[in-house]
Each structure stands twice: as structure tokens, then as C-alpha cells.
Structure 1
Amino acid sequence: MKYLLDQQFQDDCDQRLQNDIDMIDTDEQFKESYMDIIERFYTLFESIYQYYIEINEFISRVRENYYIDYTLETILLEKEGKRLLIEAYYNYAVMLLLLDRLIPAIARERILVCYVRYKSAVGSDNTTQVAMMVKGTGATFKNTPNGHNIPAKYPIDYFGRFNVDRML
């Protein structure tokens, strides 16, 4: 997936397009027809990553005594505080699992490539991190009996792509 965000890859694709008039027309037609949906999917991907960032920022601020009345210990001592922290991480895990189960890896990766190519989002702060999040896990889910193919350490490896504060 790393090479997909490489500028050389983008330049190679553009060079191939420039050499074929039919490809240019097809590319423009594709962009006009599907850019809206591609942007929606990218917004979904980026929102999941942003949720992760916000959870970590909150934990970091609590540790740095940004909130005068709260420390991590006092939050974890309160029943509601403990429940909210658990739910925040649970929701993040559910978002990742649903993303992996409902949008196949090849589709996620192609959507990201289209978005980067059409929006020139390589310089975006989150694009590389979003790419790491949407990269295939090796798990495939099919609606047939015994149709699932799940790697041995799934979903542990998937969740491990982004560090979660283990002190919690």
C-alpha cells in the first residue's frame, strides 16, 4: 500500500493516461461519475481515524492534567468514567471490524488510490495513516458456510496498527 501513495506511482499513471486519448476520456468520465461517492468513502475512512486521534488526545490531556478535576485514576474509579472509556475504545474496535467486514480490502484500497489521485491528497496529514488503516488484513468474509478466511492473529494485528494506551 505504501507504493500507492508514492508520487512516482502517480506520475507513472498520469504518463500512461497522457499517451491514450480514450483513457483520458474514460478517466474524466469516471471522475465525474464517481468522485462524490469516492469522497464519501474517504470521509468515512478519515472519520474513523479522526475518532482514534480524538480518543488519544483526550487520554493525553487527562494525563497532562489539562482537566483540573480529573486524572486518569479518578476517571477509572468512577463507574461512569470507566464505562465511557471502555465504550470509546469498544466503538473504535467495532468501527474497524465493520470497515473490514463490510468493505472488502481491495475496494478500500482502490477507493483510497482514486481519492489520492483525483484530489492530490498525498500531502494531507492523515492520508498515510488512513492508508495504513484501510490496508487489507488478509481476512475475507463471504456469505457462504465456511466461506470466511481469517488469519491466525486477526483482529489483534489489525487493532495493533495504531497504538492504544496499554496503561488503561
Structure 2
Amino acid sequence: MDQDVSFATVDACGQNLLSLVSRGNAIVAELLRLEDYLPDVFRKEKKEEGKKFAPVIFDFSYFQTSDAVEAKIEADDNLKKLDTQFKESYCNVISRFYMAYESIFKYAIDLNGYLSDLSEGVYFQHSLDNVFADADGKQLMCEALYLLGVQLLTAEHIDGATRERLLVAHHRAAVQSAAAACHLDDVCKLLRSTGLGESGRRPANYPEHYFSVALAPQAAMLYVCLFFKPAVLAMETAMMREIVDKFFPDNWVISVYMGSTVNLLEAWEPYKAARTVLHASLDTAAVKQLTGKHATRMEWSFQVK
């Protein structure tokens, strides 16, 4: 590449990466701005303000009993009026929070997509190697990943329990206005409480587990897309080994879409290559180690509660 020509402006590869980085900076700026716009009803230190609307503000436990909760509100005129007042007073700012949180999810998806395109030769003059060999390319690639991490950490400035209440409030308003967001399920998974700040110590595997959630949707998309190329599932053992090692090393039951889950052991049973590789990863020692790790995490979670 001509040293006098900037990678970021010479073609679509550089321009798309520069655009992604610009978006990342804008998302961080919006998250920081929103900290000053968090309504008092959601602030822990403003308990008096929150008491009035407490009966119609819910955390993620709402999703387990949503029908019963909505029926209770509908059956009580006072609760209905309170719910309506809450939505009319805070709907716009809650929507703004949701859009900011959704933008983090979309950024992660687009960053993954860009890297996949680069690896698969979509930008025929570029590869990961020559982008990293270019000074501007290396700077932008590092900055793009850095900004995803900054977005996730900045979102944590508002505690997890409050984020959950904001997301549920948005969901309830969006559903009833027929404007439910298509990414809500994924955004809830990404921005759910990490446990940070809920006890006197840092949560186990924080923030690496939190960061990994941002990349998890790629595994679900890959699972679905593989059925468009069944020969890979059936015969490409080497490729399936790479796929399992990278995307399904310890998650064999995955969420595909809006709470729909799939057990890979069952789904891939008819496909020889996929079945063989997956079973090879399920050796007794690995399963015991994974079980122990999750047991420790659950014990810590109960201690926090």
C-alpha cells in the first residue's frame, strides 16, 4: 500500500473500519451522557422517588411471570393508572437507554461481521495480516475492539439491577405499543446484571465472562447457517473441529432466538463430522472441570444473594 495513502480512506475495507470506530466512540459518548439522565425512580439513592412507582417497575424476574403481572395490573384500576403515569412520564428516556444498549449489541455484531468478511476475502485486496501490517489498519483494528470493551464497562456505570429494570420497562412499553425491538432478547442477555457492585467483592470471571457474552450471538448464527451447508456438518471433520473449538467449547445447549434453545448433541446427531467432533470434546475430564466451574459460580451467586 502506498505510504502516502491512508488505509482508512483508500477503499471500502478501511472506510468501513473507520466508520465502525467512529460509531464506537459515539456509543461511548451517549452512554456517558445518559448517566446524567437516569430518572430518579431508578436511582438507589433516591428511595423516596422510587417508592411511588415501585409496584410497576420490575427486574428480569418479570419475564418468568409476565402474564400474571400484567393481569394483576389490568385488574387493579389504581395500578393501571400508576402504570400509565409511569410510561407517560418516562417512556422517552427509557427508550433512549434501550437504544444505547442495543447499539452496543449491534456494534458487537458488526465488528464480528467485519472480521468475518476480512477473513473470508470479501475485501479481496486485504486480509487480517496485511491490515495489521499497516500502521493505520493496526491502530483502527485495536481501537475497534478496545471500544467494544469500553462500551461494556461504561454501561456498568449504571448498576446491573437498574439496567434490568430499564430493559423490562422498555419491553413493557414496546410490547403494548406494538413496537417491540427485535434485538431485545439479545440485549437483555448482554446487559443483564453481572453482579458487580452487589457485594463487597468482584464477581468471579469478571469482566472476561461479561465480554464473551458480546460475542456469543455469533455462535447461534453459525449454528443456523451451517444447515445451509450440510456437507460441512456431515463430512468436513477438520472444519467442524475448528468450529467447535472456537464457538462451542463449553456451550452445548445454545439459545438460538428469543428464548428458543437447542441441544447440539441432539441437533447434530445425524451429521457424522459434527457428531464426532462434538463427542470428542465431551470427554469426562473436561465435563467434570466445567461442572466444577459452574458449581463454584452458583455457590458464589447464592452467597451474594
Query: Greater relative contact order: 1 or 2 (C-alpha under 8 angstroms, separation 6 or more)?
Result: 1
In structure 2, distance between residues paired with 1:40 and 1:90: 24
Query: In the TM superposition, what whole-angstrom CA distance separates every residue of 1:32-80 from its partner, at most 9, and x where no partner exists?
Result: 0000110010011001111111111111111121112111111112122
2:197 equivalent in structure 1:
140
1:153 counterpart (188, 194, 205):
205
1:128 and 2:180 equivalent?
Answer: no
Name the aligned partner's letter for residue 34 of structure 1.
Y
Shift of 1:4: 4.3
Query: In the TM superposition, what whole-angstrom CA distance separates every residue of 1:143-163 from its partner, at most 9, and x where no partner exists?
Result: xxxx85311321111112133
- State the Cα RMSD in Å: 2.6
Note the 1:49-128 alignment, pairs <5 A.
49-100=105-156, 102-120=157-175, 124-128=181-185
1:26 equivalent in structure 2:
82
Identity %: 31
1:144 equivalent in structure 2:
none
Name the aligned partner's letter for residue 83 of structure 2.
D
1:42 equivalent in structure 2:
98
Shift of 1:2: 6.8
TM-score after normalising by structure 2: 0.48
How many aligned residue pairs are there? 159
Name the aligned partner's letter for residue 130 of structure 1.
V
Name the aligned partner's letter for residue 195 of structure 2.
G
TM-score after normalising by structure 1: 0.84
Name the aligned partner's letter for residue 133 of structure 1.
L
Note the 1:5-20 alignment, pairs <5 A.
5=63, 9-20=65-76
Name the aligned partner's letter for residue 103 of structure 1.
I
Q: How has the CA–CA distance of structure 1 residues 69 and 39 changed in structure 2, closer, same or farther, with 3 Å as cutoff?
A: same
Matched-pair contact (CA < 8 Å) for 1:5–1:122? no
1:163 equivalent in structure 2:
215
Matched-pair contact (CA < 8 Å) for 2:171–2:180? no
In structure 2, distance between residues paired with 1:2 and 1:36: 21
Q: How has the CA–CA distance of structure 1 residues 105 and 135 changed in structure 2, closer, same or farther, with 3 Å as cutoff?
A: same
In structure 2, distance between residues paired with 1:72 and 1:5: 42
Shift of 1:134: 1.0
Matched-pair contact (CA < 8 Å) for 1:140–1:150? yes
Matched-pair contact (CA < 8 Å) for 1:5–1:116? no
2:251 equivalent in structure 1:
none
Shift of 1:123: 6.1
